[in-house]
Amino acid sequence: MRRSFLIFTALLALIALLGALITDQFALQILTLTLIWATAGLAWNVPATAGQISLGHAAFTGIGAYGFVFCVVQFGWSAWVGMAVSMAAAAVLALVIGLPTFRLQGFYFTLATMAFPLILMVLVIAGGHPEVTVPFNPGEPIASMQFRDPRSYVWLALGAFAVVGALCLAVAESKIGRTLIAIRDNEILARSVGVRTLVWKLGAFCFSAAVSAAVGVIWVNAILLVVAAEEVFGFAVSILLISVTFVGGIGRFWGPIVGAGLLIPLSQFLTVQVGDRVPGAESIVYGLALVAVALVMPRGVFPTIADRLTRRGADGPPDEHRTDNAEWRALAREAKATSSDDVLLEVIGVEKRYGGLTVLRDATFTVGAGARLGLIGPNGAGKTTLFNLMTGHATPNGGSIRFRGEDITKLPAPARTQLGLSRTFQVPQGFRSMTARQNVEIAALGSGLGPAEADRHTRAILCAVGLGGRADRLPSALTAFELKLLELARAAVSRPAVLLLDEPLAGLNEAERGDFFAALDLVVDEEIAVVVIEHSVKALLSYSSELLALDGGQIIASGSPREVVRDPRVIKAYLGNKFAARYSLVSEPQKADQP
């Protein structure tokens, strides 16, 4: 934790020393440019940490540059006011780009960002401003950001780098950084553990845009002086930010710093040495660097080297899952102040259609405090759809869902998790670049616990389910059964009022099924309601106090397990008409008498 801040401070001191010692004009300019693009790279990296690759940051440097000149020339404002206004304008534009595209998954955000700087560039040129000039005013150096001594620009760029770097480092080392990584790893899962992903992505993008605009302002004053639309809005700027960050390592704090330190001096040197004979030499270097890094170390230079140096042993104690729920019980006792409503969740006449296909109709039932409700039915009966509707991963076409009397039909998934509805997934999900502990901790934080509390809850529940010795492993290093336990720990760590388990037993053998229910009993206290989807009716008979049978999108039976499994409609749904009269679902099927 503290070590990164020490290294960063040492780096700043080193750069300051360089800035003070260097006398060569050209070397000072290289230092300034390296700092400028490292700062912009740090900013570009923030949304990229959440998996949002922008190809349009030139829109923000361009707005920074043009907005600054406009404010200074038209209104005669001081340079700093101009910078603040440009930063605000860039943040607003980021909101305009992000708000619609962040709702979509996949490449849409990246594609949309590509178009914006092109539009702005054409409009600025068509508006009659292909070039604007920064008014030269070295009389008031502080107010105008214009200095006679090129060394002053090093200090200016270093100041921006220090501020943005400290902010980004604080982000990277905190809950914020891990939340961003969680969004990149698995956005659906992040939403289901209470992370408002849209807000986070927008926040990251707006911050990034504002910093890029500030960088545009500094760039204009320190280097350009004449602002050409093709230069500040050009694709080359966007590519530059991607290059420094990707070569260094996307999603890592040191990535853009390492990348800028490698690429900018090299490209500047080439431009000066061979630029007149080899036009575009620096771009060829960027291009080759991108290709080479993508092929050889696709995670970037810094992570590849750093992780090789600090590889930690992944081995815990031998393969046993010792459960210890003392700490978890203690936490549960502390929290025992919850109101004991009778009815927690009400599903009233809910309907869901996909196109012309109705997958769920008129589903009505309630879940009371402490319920142990089993949801059974053949494939395609609508069980998972029902879960998705309850947790906000899909919206019903009709009917309503109430939680503690409050209508939550239209509430997004993260808000429902924070209310106390938590779920697991049929196919175990995980934040793949985080350890088991961090996986659970994100859920604890997402439910609204403070950092210290979240840490305590996380340790306690991991011990309770028997993953105490596996806490520092990545999901990819866990067995199928351990993943199920992790899934359970993640869903239960927030002490939800209603816990929804989607086929938790699928793929487990008989012994593991027993172990899973044992772990479930250890982490769930009596007043928590548990709803389990399961194919295997037998497994649910002993666990649940109530069964709900679905078939073809309709609830066909409900009541005590014994009643439901003897219901002819349920037997028909499972075994077909022919056997409906003769068999019960639970007794071992005898050999049918052949007629």
Partner 1 sequence: MTVVQFIVTGLLVGGVYALISSGLGLIFGVMRIVNFAQGDFMMLAMFASYLFWVGPRINPLLSVPIVFGVFVLLGIIVYRYLVGPVAGHRENHDAQVILTLGVGLVLQNVMLLAFGSTPRLMSIPALEFGFNVGGVYIDGPRLIGFIAAAVTATVLFWFLRHTILGRAIRAASENWEAATYMGINLRKTYAVSFGIGIGLTAIGGAALSMYQPVGPFVGLNFTVIMFAAVVLGGLGSVSGAFVGGVIIGIVQSVSQVWSPSTLANVYVFAIFLIVLLVRPQGLFGRKQRAI
How far is it, in rounded angstroms, from Cα 449 to Cα 524? 18
Among positions 115, 143, 163, 592, the unique one binding partner 1 when judged by CB under 8 A: 115
Q: How far apart are CA 274 and CA 288, in angstroms?
A: 17
* β-sheet with 554-559: strand ranges across: 421-423, 498-502, 529-533, 372-376, 546-551, 554-559
Does 92 engage in binding with partner 1 (CB under 8 A)? no
Q: Name the strand (E) or helix (H) holding 397.
A: none
Q: Measured between alpha carbons, how far is 411 from 345 in angstroms, rounded to an integer?
A: 14
* Two tokens, residue 543: 């666990």
Q: Contacts with partner 1 in 310-369 (CB under 8 A)?
A: 354
Shortest Å distance, C-beta 503 to partner 1:
13
Is the Cβ of residue 198 or residue 290 nearer to partner 1 in the bound state?
290
In the complex with partner 1, the residue whose CB is nearer, 117 or 468, is 117
Residues whose CB falls within 8 Å of the CB of residue 20, separated by 6 or more in sequence, listed in order: 151
Residue from 95, 225, 284, 586 binding partner 1 (CB under 8 A): 284
> Of the candidates 37, 68, 246, 403, which one interacts with partner 1 according to CB under 8 A?
246
Is there a contact between 488 and 443 (Cβ–Cβ < 8 Å)? no
Residue 301 vs 565, nearer CB to partner 1? 301
Residue 267 engages partner 1 in binding (rule: CB under 8 A): no
What is the contact mask toward partner 1 in residues 32 to 71, using x (rule: CB under 8 A)? ----------------x----x-x----------------
The one among 118, 348, 415, 575 contacting partner 1 by CB under 8 A: 118
Verify binding: residue 432, partner 1, rule CB under 8 A: yes
> Least CB distance from residue 403 to partner 1, whole Å?
21
Pairing assessment for the beta strands 406-407 and 398-403 based on DSSP bridges = antiparallel
Alpha carbon distances (Å) from 551 to 130, 392, 398, 554, 568: 66, 22, 19, 5, 13
| Token duo for residue 308 | 């090789």
- Our CB check for partner 1 shows the closer of 14 and 305 to be 305
With contacts defined by CB under 8 A, name the span among 198-206, 253-261, 387-395, 481-489 that binds partner 1.
Answer: 387-395
Residue from 246, 322, 299, 311 nearest 485 by CA: 322
Minimum gap (Å) between residue 461 Cβ and partner 1? 25
Q: Which is nearer to partner 1, 53 or 223 (CB)?
A: 53
- Shortest CB 101 distance to partner 1, Å: 6
Closest to 489 in 3D by CA, of 533, 513, 514, 458: 458
**Shortest distance, position 188 Cβ to partner 1, whole Å:** 6
Beta strand pairing status for 498-502 and 421-423?
Answer: parallel
Choose between 173 and 230: whose C-beta lies nearer to partner 1.
Answer: 230
Q: How near is the Cβ of 345 to partner 1 at its closest, in Å?
A: 20
Buried b (16+ CB within 10 A) or exposed e, 66-85: bbbbbbbeeeebbbeebbbb
Residues near partner 1 (CB under 8 A): 48, 53, 55, 100-101, 104-105, 107-108, 110-112, 114-116, 118-119, 122-123, 125-126, 188, 235, 239, 242, 246, 250, 278-281, 283-284, 286-291, 293-295, 298, 354, 384, 388, 393-394, 425, 432
